[in-house]
Amino acid sequence: MTQEHNNSADPLHAKKEAWSGRFSEPVAEFVLRYTQSVSFDKRMAMADIRGSLAHAEMLATCGVISQQDLDDIRRGMEQISNEIKTGKFLWQLELEDVHLNIEARLTQLIGDAGKRLHTGRSRNDQVATDLRLYLRDEVDQIILKLHHLQEVLVNQARREYNTIMPGFTHMQVAQPVTFGHHMLAYVEMFDRDRERMIDLRRRINRLPLGSAALAGTTYPIDRELTAKLLNFDGVAQNSLDAVSDRDFGIEFTAAASLIMIHISRLSEELVYWMCQRFSFIKLPDRFTTGSSIMPQKKNPDVPETARGKCARVVGDLMAMATLMKGLPLAYNKDLQEDKEPVFDAIDTVKDTLRAFIEMMDGVEPNRAEMRAAAAAGYPTATDLADYLARRGVPFRTAHDIVGRVVRLAGDRNCDISDLSLSELKSFSDVIEADVYQVLTLEGSVAARDHVGGTAPCQVLKQVQRWDSIFAERNKK
């Protein structure tokens, strides 16, 4: 987990007198270090302040605190925001977490009004609210990045709508496809990833605040008002559930894992496409690295790193799911462990998408190599079988005939289209001179002319479909 470390949060630098009266020294230091969360949850500081300001405004509106208290809290929080943004805020490990650090500073700055902020609230509903606020904004950024990656891939498809390459099954040349069609396959995957993020965002966007420690609060609060101030779609309807479930974190890391799984598939393809035996593509130099010993090397480090980083995000999902399993209602301190996996998944997915948006734009296909690879391995054998079937040969029989044609071509070390008409006719007399049209790569891809097929005209139709989807999205 990459977290910046602030010296002031290090117990060696902390003011010992703040806790030495309560703990026997060596144990206290270890326990503090062990149970603290401020070293990582200070990332949610702005969400914490936002949540507190909305809570205070609600309390003032409901007459629980005075207008003067609210004004003081606003003034104090303004200063604290500035201190945090300029790196002047003194984070203290002995104050355990982001919530207590900010509250202590507020009280230091404004006195009693700071002590009134926590009325009708617990850190249990506070932390659940902060994480939702924080994650909601990050999810929005991820949704936008997925959109940008889709745009880049659609533009590749536009440029390469009729670039022929081999399509593989079992990593064996199967049938020719177009590179544009291949790129659009990933556009579909990233679209489902985007939908998942949009969908889970709705479930993140419920307000826990007001649940207090676990049972609710005795103050006359207005949770709907707090929800409105914080742009939540509504309030969580059960306090025990609201403070204790982190299913939204599990959903998020699951959806993040799927993004990374899709990225890792693309990465794997980029890696082998770049290998000399394929030479299907060139990656921009700034996304590759050299070797410290072999001067000729250009390694696909970015795709390989991304393929590897998929593992850590899947690990984040495992951490979240395992954390939740068997936890009794309501809040348990275990839940503090929810943050690092969520933060790590956010960072990894955002960095990875950023790299792929730039890198995929710069992928240069080597059309001649792709075409040559598609030509080897009898990729139009299925087309010949379809040709025979169209002329009345039952498909299974046609399949068998073509298998024998392929064997002959293999013995001769040539392509099916290199066999003469009389040789082909010896396998079946329904074969005529027009057979050579279906044996070409261009004929093969063009024939798959239906929704979802690889025909260049279908690829262009898909490109247009995406263009209008993007135009619609950009309007919003």
Between 124 and 454, CB nearer to ligand ARG = 124
62-70 own/partner pairs: CB under 8 Å, 24+ apart: 62/219, 62/220, 62/221, 62/222, 62/225, 63/220, 64/119, 64/120, 64/219, 64/220, 64/221, 65/113, 65/116, 65/117, 65/119, 68/113, 69/112, 69/113, 69/116, 70/113
* Strands of 121-253, DSSP E: 164-169, 172-178, 206-207, 234-235
Which range of residues in 2-10, 120-128, 344-352, 357-365 is near ligand ARG by CB under 6 A? 120-128
Binding status of residue 246 toward ligand ARG by CB under 6 A: no
Taking the complex as a whole, how short is the minimal distance between the CB of residue 98 and ligand ARG, in angstroms?
8
The DSSP output letter for 206 is E
Write down the H helix ranges in 413-455: 421-425, 435-439, 441-447
Q: Of 84, 146, 212, 335, which one interacts with ligand ARG (CB under 6 A)?
A: 335
Number of residues that bind ligand ARG (CB under 6 A): 9
Binding mask 178-217 for ligand ARG (x = CB under 6 A): ----------------------------------------
Q: Closest Cα to residue 166, out of 361, 367, 363, 356?
A: 367
Enumerate residues 76-105 that contact ligand ARG by CB under 6 A: 97
Q: Of 14, 29, 37, 313, which one interacts with ligand ARG (CB under 6 A)?
A: 37
Taking the complex as a whole, how short is the minimal distance between the CB of residue 316 and ligand ARG, in angstroms?
16
Taking the complex as a whole, how short is the minimal distance between the CB of residue 47 and ligand ARG, in angstroms?
13
Taking the complex as a whole, how short is the minimal distance between the CB of residue 37 and ligand ARG, in angstroms?
4
Of the candidates 170, 292, 422, 468, the residue annotated as catalytic is: 170
From the number of C-beta atoms within 10 Å of its C-beta (0-12, 13-18, 19+), residue 369 rates as middle
Token couple for 433: 């001179």
Helix (H) or strand (E) holding 364: strand 364-365
Of the candidates 8, 20, 66, 291, the residue annotated as catalytic is: 291
Between 212 and 402, CB nearer to ligand ARG = 212
Taking the complex as a whole, how short is the minimal distance between the CB of residue 123 and ligand ARG, in angstroms?
4
Between 333 and 476, CB nearer to ligand ARG = 333
Between 214 and 460, CB nearer to ligand ARG = 214
Token couple for 26: 């060596």
Taking the complex as a whole, how short is the minimal distance between the CB of residue 205 and ligand ARG, in angstroms?
20
| Residues 86, 78: Cα–Cα separation, whole Å | 12
Enumerate residues 418-447 that contact ligand ARG by CB under 6 A: none
Between 165 and 243, CB nearer to ligand ARG = 243
Active site residue 170: yes
Enumerate residues 122-161 that contact ligand ARG by CB under 6 A: 123-124, 127
Q: Closest Cα to residue 92, out of 80, 105, 82?
A: 105
Amino acid residing at 455:
A
Distances (CA, A) of 39 to 55, 91, 126, 376, 393: 25, 8, 18, 58, 72
Taking the complex as a whole, how short is the minimal distance between the CB of residue 152 and ligand ARG, in angstroms?
38
Binding status of residue 333 toward ligand ARG by CB under 6 A: yes
| Residues 286, 273: Cα–Cα separation, whole Å | 17
Between 101 and 264, CB nearer to ligand ARG = 101
Which range of residues in 272-280, 333-341, 388-396, 447-455 is near ligand ARG by CB under 6 A? 333-341
Write down the H helix ranges in 86-178: 98-110, 112-116, 123-159
| Residues 40, 43: Cα–Cα separation, whole Å | 6
Helix (H, G, I), strand (E, B) or coil at 102: helix
| Residues 204, 95: Cα–Cα separation, whole Å | 28
| Residues 143, 135: Cα–Cα separation, whole Å | 12
Active site residue 244: no
Helix (H) or strand (E) holding 282: strand 281-282
Which range of residues in 75-83, 275-283, 329-337, 456-464 is near ligand ARG by CB under 6 A? 329-337
Which range of residues in 26-34, 220-228, 328-336, 429-437 is near ligand ARG by CB under 6 A? 328-336
Taking the complex as a whole, how short is the minimal distance between the CB of residue 230 and ligand ARG, in angstroms?
18
Binding status of residue 336 toward ligand ARG by CB under 6 A: yes
- Where along the sequence are the contacts to ligand ARG (CB under 6 A)? 37, 41, 97, 123-124, 127, 333, 335-336
What amino acid positions are annotated as catalytic residues? 170, 291
